[in-house]
Amino acid sequence: MAKGTKYVAKEPDASGFIRYSDDENAVWHQLITRQMDCIPGRACDEYLAGLDALQLPHDRIPQLEEVNKVLKAATGWEVARVPALISFDKFFSMLANKQFPVATFIRCWEELDYLQEPDIFHEIFGHCPMLTHPAFAAFTHHYGKLGYKASKEERVFLARLYWLTVEFGLLHSAKGLRIYGGGILSSIGETQYALDSDKPEREPFDLVTMLRTPYRIDIMQPIYFIINSIDDLFELSKMDLMVYVEKAKKMGLLPPKYPPKTMTA
């Protein structure tokens, strides 16, 4: 990943403990408390069950081993410390080995509402609750194994699938439309926008369409795809997704749902 970052991942001490400042813990507290107020009636039950299992502290940033005790018992996964940005090779290799990468820094106050880099709040609060669910965990593992073997071009298509499911996925529930994507659930603005706004399109899950759908990381998403249940992801984990990648490659990308970036001097 070529983009640079001003953030530096925290190093653990000899005992494996990562020390955070009072200010960093205060940022975590602000982020988690406001999201906890926002997600009821919006997050899916599977996410809420995972969040309850994790019992994340509100007054401080959790240690990775605290999270690992729950994940390992639930699905055999674990989180692993990484720098702020890692290569696609490293990313897919970690997922293929049931390790979810977590950059051990937290955003600054000035970037509280939006951060382009995935920080520890995004990874732990956004994604780890769903990793306690066997169907979601199986899909993520399968995705990592495929991505590790894929070509550079194929990985670009697979990235769209990840973005539109793991990061920004919605699902139908008996209670109505709910969120399971970690990119949404770690953002107060997108948590509200994804379900409440009349601006984005919300479409039924279609694998080839998703692989062909361009996205931008720096805007509210113009389109969300909806699965019928988390079990749909388990079905994906049993499929040869590369067949669909080849089909999407032949068909080409769909027109983007967003305007082009404006260049600044």
Q: How far apart are CA 129 and CA 77, in angstroms?
A: 12
Instruction: Say if CB 50 and CB 129 are below 8 A apart.
Output: yes
CA 138 to CA 235: how far, in whole Å?
9
Reported as type and span, the H/E element at residue 25 is helix 22-38
214-217: long-range pairs with CB below 8 Å, 24+: 214/160, 214/253, 214/254, 214/256, 214/257, 214/258, 215/160, 215/163, 215/164, 216/256, 216/258, 216/261, 217/116
Look up 141 and say whether it is catalytic. Answer: no
Question: Which residues lie below 8 Å from residue 19, measured CB to CB, with a gap of 6+?
Answer: 10, 13
Confirm if 208 and 164 have CB atoms less than 8 A apart. Answer: no
Q: Is 237 a catalytic residue?
A: no
Catalytic residue (one of 24, 46, 122, 187): 122
- Residue 122 a catalytic site member: yes
Of the residues 24, 78, 123, 127, only one is catalytic, namely 127
CB distance 50 to 133 below 8 Å: yes
**DSSP per-residue string spanning 32-76:** HHHHHHH-TTTB-HHHHHHHHHHT--SSSPPPHHHHHHHHHHHHS
Catalytic residue among 24, 78, 167, 190: 167
Active site residue 127: yes
Closest to 186 measured CA to CA, from 259, 127, 132, 260: 127
- Among the listed residues 133, 186, 187, 190, the single catalytic one is 186
Catalytic residue positions, numbered: 122, 127, 167, 186
